[in-house]
Amino acid sequence: MKNSVSLGILLTSVAYMAFTFHDAIIKILTSTIPVWQILFFRSLTILAGCLAYGRGRLVQQTMTSPIIKPMIVRSILLLSAWLSYYSAASRLQLAEVTTLYYAAPVVGTLLAWLILKEEVTPARWLAVGVGFVGVLIACNPTGLAISWPVYLALQAAVLWASAMVLLRKTSLHEKTIVQLAVSNLFFLVMTGVAVLYTWRTPDMTQLVLLVATGIVAGAAQFALFEGMRRAPVSVLAPFEYTSLVWAFLLGYLIWADIPTHNVIAGACMILGAGLIIIVSERLRRRIAV
């Protein structure tokens, strides 16, 4: 890729694709394994990978990081978002929880404008709006009633958006490997306490899925952190919608959910939102030159 923003878009798109695969595995596991235990194994796997790569140097860099406090605050937001999301996912259909969660790009763009003082161009607002309308058309959540799982999914969206804004700030001042280590060490400690009271011994298949969750999540987190380092939140926010396309694909492959015409129409709008960003950013660069 020739420029930072384009690479940021690519990395973020890959991250949300991986997160969708990760969510599908967790949806399978939550029927038999507590959410706390899933997050514990995921964090343990990611942290082990970080230490295998960084070793003693990583430990030193983490302990002496000048932005350790903001990273911990972000970790609290992320943990709260994930717990809310996966608790809702265990009680709602994948399409339903995905639709509710997709308030996050809208909230994220608004926070980036208010807090980070990013210049949110009309094209970026348009992309967020088109993408969200595409989600509504694809998921057709008109049958949803106000309930505790619905509230949890919306809460997850707001918490996730807040964490992404803070991630944008921390990613400019610290290495991704250090951020991964801090986040997952925090998750490991917090979930480890809960696991003592909710532990269920996994069988071999469940253990493989738990480790796979950590591997996929680690790759997704790395790509997301690196993407946020390279492009503004308001540019990357609409690409979060692309995971809906993967969600419906996995829904078909795993649960035999057949996409309807509204799903196809919504997916086209979501892809169109991404194209709006790509074309508008290229035009901005040409004008700047």
Q: DSSP 3-state assignment of 66?
A: coil
d(CA 21, CA 94): 12
pLDDT in tens, the chain (289 residues): 447 788 888 898 899 889 888 888 888 888 889 888 998 999 999 999 999 998 888 888 888 888 888 888 988 998 888 788 878 877 777 667 777 777 777 778 777 877 877 777 888 788 888 877 877 776 665 555 667 777 888 888 889 888 888 888 888 788 889 989 998 999 899 889 889 888 899 999 999 999 999 999 999 999 998 988 888 877 887 777 777 778 777 777 776 766 667 767 777 777 777 777 777 767 776 665 5
CA 283, CA 285: separation in Å to the nearest integer?
Answer: 5
* Cβ–Cβ < 8 Å for 257, 248: yes
Contacts of 42 (CB under 8 A, 6+ apart): 184, 187, 210, 213, 214, 217
* Tokens 């009309």, located at residue: 122
